[in-house]
A and B are shown apart, each in its own frame.
With several copies, the nearest count.
Chain A
Amino acid sequence: MSNDPYSARVRELFDAPAHAGCLGGELCAKVEDQGVRICLCAEPEGGEIRRMRFLAWGCPHVIAAAEAVCAYYEGRSSAELLDFSALDLMQSLSVPVEKTGRILVIEDAVRTLGGIVRDASNLDN
Chain B
Amino acid sequence: MTERANLVYLDYAASTPVDPWVAEAMAALMTADGNYANPSSTHIAGRRSVEHIEHATGQLAGLLNTAPECLIWTSGATESDNLAILGAAHYRQDRGRHLVTMRTEHKAVTDPFKALQKQSFDVTWLDPEADGLLDLAKLKAALRSDTQLVSIMHVNNETGIIQDIRRIGELCREHGCLLHVDAAQSVGKLPIDLATLPLDLMSMTAHKVYGPKGIGALYIAPRPGVHVEPLLFGGGQQRKLRPGTLPAQQIVGFGAAAAIAQSRMSDDFRHLSAMRERLWSGIRDIPGISTNGAIESAFPGILNVSIEDIEGESLLLALEPLCVATGSACNSKTQEPSYVLRALGRSDELAQSAIRFSFGRPTRPQDIDLAIDLYRNAVARLRGMSPERAA
Contact = CB atoms under 8 A, between A and B. Distances in A.
Interface of A: 1-6, 11, 14, 17, 20-22, 30, 35, 37-39, 54-60, 62-63, 98
A58 B314 contact: yes
B391 interface: yes
A3 B50 contact: yes
Contacts of B44: 1
A63 B316 CA distance: 13
A24 to B, nearest CB: 9
Contacts of B313: 59-60
A63 B314 contact: yes
Those 5 A-B pairs whose CB atoms lie nearest each other, nearest first: A59-B313, A55-B387, A20-B385, A39-B387, A60-B317
Contacts, number: 61
Chain B binding surface, main DSSP class:
helix
Nearest to B44: A1
Interface in B31-64: 42, 44, 47-48, 50-51, 54
Contact of B51 (A1, A17, A59): A1
11 contacts: A3-B51, A11-B317, A39-B387, A54-B385, A55-B386, A56-B385, A56-B387, A57-B311, A57-B386, A58-B311, A60-B314
Given A5-B42, A14-B317, A57 B51 contact: no
B309 interface: yes
B388 interface: yes
Contacts of A2: 51, 54
B384 interface: yes
A20 B387 CA distance: 10
Contacts of A6: 317
Interface size bracket, B side: 20 to 34
Contacts of A30: 387
B49 to A, nearest CB: 10
Contacts of B335: 59, 98
B381 to A, nearest CB: 9
Nearest to A39: B387
A22 B384 CA distance: 10
Nearest to A58: B311
A3 B387 contact: no
A30 B387 CA distance: 9
Contacts of B5: none
A90 to B, nearest CB: 17
Contacts of A5: 42
A3 B387 CA distance: 31
B137 interface: no
B141 interface: no
Given A5-B42, A57-B309, A58-B311, A22 B50 contact: no
Nearest to A21: B390
Contacts of B314: 14, 58-60, 62-63
B291 to A, nearest CB: 22
A5 to B, nearest CB: 7
B42 A63 contact: no
Contacts of B390: 21-22, 55
A20 B385 CA distance: 6
Interface in B332-391: 335, 348, 384-388, 390-391
Candidate in A2, A22, A57, A58 with the most chain B CB atoms within 10 angstroms: A57
B47 A17 contact: no
A5 B387 CA distance: 25
Candidate in A37, A59, A98 with the most chain B CB atoms within 10 angstroms: A59
Contact of B387 (A4, A11, A35, A37): A37
Contacts of A37: 386-388
